[in-house]
Chain A
């Protein structure tokens, strides 16, 4: 009977096409659509900050260089991971991440909570040549970052595009994006309080790459690395353990 029905279906191209579309649509609809409607999917974190233009530029360098091919940014709810890397990642932490950089391969360690773990100096030395700092590392050297000036003039366009995608950047943020990027990495400049006003007083304003005269790609990347895991306190307050309870963090 079923076979007869299929024999019929095989005679109709359009019928077959429609059947494929129908069969293939169900899974995606059931699994994806509710992620937008069920409130608990993303936790509430009122203190969640936005990336500053400099951090965003650094994030784009992270994407461009394919750091995600070796580093995850997603600490799973497993005890050993929590002990190694810190509290497990919450959905809200990547709420403004277009795209997310959870990663799928750990050739290097997870970076979800790398912010504040090392000094800027360490990062610059490490990125310039990882084997100077960690002799057995197989991470590529990114020596050109410190030599390359950061393009800041188009940052307003970047923030605008992100706003179109749903990130709540204000008009003032968009308007001042280029200056803010410059100021965040050159604290002596007269306007540098503007970044902190717009993005919160926790914003790290300083020379990241040890060279105060120019804003380089190294500044941006290190600024990004130093803010990872520090946009909200929610993971440290979160006590709900959805699956295996994480062990005590030492």
Chain B
């Protein structure tokens, strides 16, 4: 990887690594009585390892000029591998967390393994580790191909990818140590948050620079979504994480928001993390890999425009549906509900657009598990956005809120949509990136597909049942007008479903492991001789050569 950097880039990379290591040292020195010390050393070691990696190849010859005639795919490959590694780890933690709710003593009496600490490791691990790496990798791929331009330099994509993974490691290890802000999906503490801002700004600049080099007059739809994802996540992240650290030597900080305002800011963030991280970015994938795989153009350009702007505008109003019947003023709840219901229009426009694109290619869906991954993902996207709009209606929410129904809804989206579209995209991408004819084993892709689908269905049916039972038990009255069930009664009723959910999750995890194995074997196989026709940037030179 370092060999593909120019000499100047290697020097900057070395300087950055040393600077990161130094920051780690400062934190470790300042925080000798606090958990931040552990993170200080971790950052120091991370920076040192990067420095060593760079130094090893520092004096190698410059990469040839001819590199500019091909796309820069190395960081994409690394991103896919990182994403699958996070997937396996974080889904394993998911299964563990699920098991803890049925068998609470699986903690070995240690603090780090208790439910409250492991749960954010799971959520951040899947969302940021698995999802985030997948988004970074595919966005680098899509932006180059649709712009017919190579990334502008070799260093910044690596900085984004490696720096981002440092953030993920800090976040996940922090929760185990008890370092958390407690804000859902934004649990990481101030120093990790500041680091993410630096990484993210670099990501944005890199994306814009690549688009500026494009040889196509128009920006392709997939890039609209990736841009919205990058931009809005930056805004959300910065505003939600504004905080006062206790000191340089403390991991702990206090958010500047409090009470009802904090709740609103948090769910404005939280819901739009779903919207712009788990939806917009992955729609970017859908809009590129689905048509490629099906070899059909997107069904409707107009629908794309409608759904893109609908999603970008409406979603930002929807966060308050997480706060129905709370101390949040009624008018804000009503706005949140209204926009959540309206969101169904652009959401279904997207899902419909994807499915209609498959018209004429249904036989491929039948035969090709990779395309089936994407097709089913679009269906789950449709289902979970419908469910989301439904759950946002105030009276419905009075039943579903605080129950497992929400968790079931989240996973209909997370497993059925986010994970499936990612796997579909990876199965399309891996053979083409590593220049293999096809995946190592299409039977294993088939296996992965059915395991993932079965796991998802078991999971969400279990949670629908448990959530609705729980919600109903809490509000059931006896004829004398007293509450019919104690909280414990409702808890006892949950156990069978918690076990079922663990089983569903296990199926899904096994699928992911099989997928990783299959990708690994594909990468290790010998390359096919035939290069993919036309998979090069449109440079002045190549254009001349091709005449």
Query: Does B63 lie at the interface of the complex (its beta carbon under 8 Å from any beta carbon of A)?
Result: no
Query: Does B59 lie at the interface of the complex (its beta carbon under 8 Å from any beta carbon of A)?
Result: no
Considering the complex, which residues of chain B in the window 234-254 have a beta carbon less than 8 Å from any beta carbon of chain A?
235, 239, 243-247, 250, 252-254
What does the 1/0 interface line of A51-63 toward B look like (CB < 8 Å)? Answer: 0000000001001
- Are A94 and B402 closer than 8 Å at their CB atoms? no
- Are B326 and A89 closer than 8 Å at their CB atoms? yes
- Are A7 and B218 closer than 8 Å at their CB atoms? yes
Query: Does B182 lie at the interface of the complex (its beta carbon under 8 Å from any beta carbon of A)?
Result: yes
- Are B104 and A94 closer than 8 Å at their CB atoms? no
A71 to B305, CA, bound (A): 42
- Are B260 and A98 closer than 8 Å at their CB atoms? no
Query: Does A243 lie at the interface of the complex (its beta carbon under 8 Å from any beta carbon of B)?
Result: yes
Closest to B314 in A: A27
What does the 1/0 interface line of B291-315 toward A look like (CB < 8 Å)? Answer: 0000000000110010001001111
Residue of B116, B239, B268, B313 touching A31 (CB-CB under 8 A): B268
A23 to B224, CA, bound (A): 13
Query: Does B161 lie at the interface of the complex (its beta carbon under 8 Å from any beta carbon of A)?
Result: no
Residues in A with CB closer than 8 Å to B335 are 30-31
Query: Does B259 lie at the interface of the complex (its beta carbon under 8 Å from any beta carbon of A)?
Result: yes
- Are A65 and B114 closer than 8 Å at their CB atoms? yes
Query: Does A76 lie at the interface of the complex (its beta carbon under 8 Å from any beta carbon of B)?
Result: yes
- Are A70 and B116 closer than 8 Å at their CB atoms? yes
- Are A78 and B313 closer than 8 Å at their CB atoms? no
Residue of B259, B268, B305 touching A3 (CB-CB under 8 A): B305
Residue of B182, B231, B252, B261 touching A35 (CB-CB under 8 A): B261
What does the 1/0 interface line of A32-71 toward B look like (CB < 8 Å)? Answer: 1001101011100000000000000000100111111110
Query: Does B492 lie at the interface of the complex (its beta carbon under 8 Å from any beta carbon of A)?
Result: yes
Query: Does B367 lie at the interface of the complex (its beta carbon under 8 Å from any beta carbon of A)?
Result: no
What does the 1/0 interface line of A80-96 toward B look like (CB < 8 Å)? Answer: 11011000111111111
Residue of A41, A98, A131 touching B254 (CB-CB under 8 A): A98
Q: A17-B227, A99-B183 are in contact. Are A94 and B491 (CB under 8 A)?
A: no
List the one stretch of A104-112, A181-189, A205-213 in contact with chain B: A104-112
Closest to A83 in B: B483
- Are A139 and B104 closer than 8 Å at their CB atoms? yes
Residue of A16, A74, A109, A166 touching B327 (CB-CB under 8 A): A74
Query: Does A10 lie at the interface of the complex (its beta carbon under 8 Å from any beta carbon of B)?
Result: yes
Query: Does B13 lie at the interface of the complex (its beta carbon under 8 Å from any beta carbon of A)?
Result: no
- Are B326 and A102 closer than 8 Å at their CB atoms? yes
Q: A99-B182, A138-B491, A151-B33 are in contact. Are A164 and B258 (CB under 8 A)?
A: no
Query: Does B504 lie at the interface of the complex (its beta carbon under 8 Å from any beta carbon of A)?
Result: no
- Are A13 and B104 closer than 8 Å at their CB atoms? no
List the one stretch of B131-139, B195-203, B317-325, B522-530 in contact with chain A: B317-325
Query: Does B208 lie at the interface of the complex (its beta carbon under 8 Å from any beta carbon of A)?
Result: yes
Interface centre among A104, A108, A143 (most CB of B within 10 A): A104
Q: A24-B312, A99-B262 are in contact. Are A11 and B219 (CB under 8 A)?
A: yes
Closest to B123 in A: A69
Considering the complex, which residues of chain A in the window 96-132 have a beta carbon less than 8 Å from any beta carbon of chain B?
96-109, 130-131
- Are A138 and B101 closer than 8 Å at their CB atoms? yes
Q: A32-B261, A104-B322 are in contact. Are A137 and B244 (CB under 8 A)?
A: no
Q: Smallest Cβ distance from B266 to chain A, in angstroms?
A: 7
Query: Does B91 lie at the interface of the complex (its beta carbon under 8 Å from any beta carbon of A)?
Result: no
A149 to B14, CA, bound (A): 43
Query: Does B359 lie at the interface of the complex (its beta carbon under 8 Å from any beta carbon of A)?
Result: no
Considering the complex, which residues of chain B in the window 320-348 have a beta carbon less than 8 Å from any beta carbon of chain A?
320, 322-330, 332, 335-336, 339
Query: Does B403 lie at the interface of the complex (its beta carbon under 8 Å from any beta carbon of A)?
Result: yes
Residue of B181, B235, B403 touching A99 (CB-CB under 8 A): B181
Residues in B with CB closer than 8 Å to A131 are 104-105
Q: Smallest Cβ distance from A181 to chain B, in angstroms?
A: 15
Q: A63-B182, A140-B100, A142-B114 are in contact. Are A31 and B259 (CB under 8 A)?
A: no
Q: How many residues of B contact A (CB 8 A)?
A: 100
Residue of B109, B114, B265, B330 touching A32 (CB-CB under 8 A): B265
- Are B260 and A66 closer than 8 Å at their CB atoms? no
Closest to B475 in A: A80
Query: Does B545 lie at the interface of the complex (its beta carbon under 8 Å from any beta carbon of A)?
Result: no
- Are A13 and B244 closer than 8 Å at their CB atoms? no
Residues in A with CB closer than 8 Å to B475 are 78, 80
Closest to B251 in A: A64
Query: Does A25 lie at the interface of the complex (its beta carbon under 8 Å from any beta carbon of B)?
Result: yes
- Are B491 and A136 closer than 8 Å at their CB atoms? yes
Residues in B with CB closer than 8 Å to A20 are 224, 227-228, 231-232, 312
- Are B228 and A24 closer than 8 Å at their CB atoms? yes
A41 to B332, CA, bound (A): 11
Query: Does B360 lie at the interface of the complex (its beta carbon under 8 Å from any beta carbon of A)?
Result: no
- Are A165 and B258 closer than 8 Å at their CB atoms? yes
Interface centre among B182, B184, B324 (most CB of A within 10 A): B182
What does the 1/0 interface line of A127-164 toward B look like (CB < 8 Å)? Answer: 00011001011111111100000010010011001101
Closest to B239 in A: A28
Residues in A with CB closer than 8 Å to B235 are 21, 24-25
Query: Does B120 lie at the interface of the complex (its beta carbon under 8 Å from any beta carbon of A)?
Result: yes
- Are A64 and B330 closer than 8 Å at their CB atoms? no
Query: Does B263 lie at the interface of the complex (its beta carbon under 8 Å from any beta carbon of A)?
Result: yes
Q: Smallest Cβ distance from A90 to chain B, in angstroms?
A: 6
Q: Smallest Cβ distance from B483 to chain A, in angstroms?
A: 6
What are 14 inter-chain pairs, A to B, with CB distance below 8 A?
Answer: A3-B301, A35-B260, A35-B332, A91-B259, A94-B263, A98-B262, A130-B104, A137-B491, A141-B107, A157-B247, A158-B246, A158-B254, A161-B246, A242-B330
Q: Beyond the given A24-B231, A98-B257, A136-B492, could you list 12 further A-B residue pairs with CB under 8 A, ordered by the A residue number? A: A41-B261, A42-B260, A63-B182, A66-B120, A93-B327, A94-B260, A105-B402, A105-B406, A130-B104, A138-B102, A138-B498, A244-B325
Q: Return the 8 tightest CB-CB contacts between A and B, nearest first.
A: A66-B116, A27-B316, A27-B317, A76-B325, A94-B259, A91-B327, A64-B178, A140-B114
Interface residues of B (CB under 8 A from A): 33, 100-102, 104-105, 107, 109, 111, 114-117, 119-120, 175, 178-184, 208, 211-212, 217-219, 224, 227-228, 231-232, 235, 239, 243-247, 250, 252-266, 268, 301-302, 305, 309, 312-320, 322-330, 332, 335-336, 339, 398, 401-403, 406-407, 474-475, 477, 482-483, 487-488, 491-492, 498
